[in-house]
Structure 1
């Protein structure tokens, strides 16, 4: 059986966002107060302005970390484990309730489309006190796939 060769493909910003849009499984990497990384599995999307958006609660460590050290990384994964992925580094803005409600509507739209009852959704976001994290990409890795180095391919 032939071995799969690992690949890396450099992309411009537009191609990066096109790669990320259909992928919603992500790892958000923030920095703790001691400088060590914290990785959080999250669901995310891309808003109309090209920012990666993640919904969370203000009490979560990832939110507290992003408030104090807004430089974060997001690893965007494919649904299949060996699928392509990319790391996006950026500046994170945290928006809390009630100001988060309309950005949360955009978050929902970019991941799931239209909600059957937007008034109900807005009220649920207010009741839950949800926050949203918006990451403006500043740099990113090539889009990569796993596999063997080319020198080991048969």
Structure 2
């Protein structure tokens, strides 16, 4: 399968599985919503600071991301080194601004941006970026 076909699968889907490395070396898997940013060559995911996946990535930034085709007869795997923003701390900080941009690109306009900003701080949100270092997969 060509890289362009793999990237097309990433662009069509919005759910995938994030694999991080637990302290004991085994994988920790999380199903997440994501945005494929073709211009940046990266996967973007809104996560929360207290979760295991965030703590795992802070300790070991190696990340693997898996997306199945809609029919389940193919998949794409992305590998990269995670980049995490600081935890959202105030409604107008750089992390919240990045999360607003992420939401707009993934879902469009929010009905109440003030409420959204407050929720990002209350949820202790972080924006995870996985620059695509390697991509592989199969389509049957």
The interval holding the TM-score normalised by the smaller chain is 0.7 to 0.9
CA distance in 1, matches of 2:67, 2:101: 19
Structure exhibiting the larger radius of gyration computed from Cα positions: 1
Query: Are the structure 2 counterparts of residues 89 and 108 from structure 1 closer, same or farther at C-alpha, using a change threshold of 3 Å?
Result: same
CA distance in 2, matches of 1:93, 1:104: 14
Q: Name 1:41's counterpart in structure 2.
A: 31
Q: How many residues matched?
A: 134
Q: Name 1:152's counterpart in structure 2.
A: none
CA distance in 2, matches of 1:26, 1:64: 19
Highest RCO, 1 vs 2 (Cα 8 Å, sep ≥ 6): 1
Does residue 11 of the first structure (1) align with residue 6 of the second (2)? no
TM-score (norm 1): 0.76
Q: Name 2:48's counterpart in structure 1.
A: 57
Runs of at least 4 residues of structure 1 off by over 3 A?
15-18
Q: Which runs of 5+ in 1 are unaligned?
A: 1-8, 147-154
TM-score (norm 2): 0.83
Select the residue among 5, 18, 30 that pairs with 1:28: 18
- What is the aligned-residue RMSD (CA, Å)? 1.9
Q: Name 2:96's counterpart in structure 1.
A: 101
Q: Which runs of 5+ in 2 are unaligned?
A: none
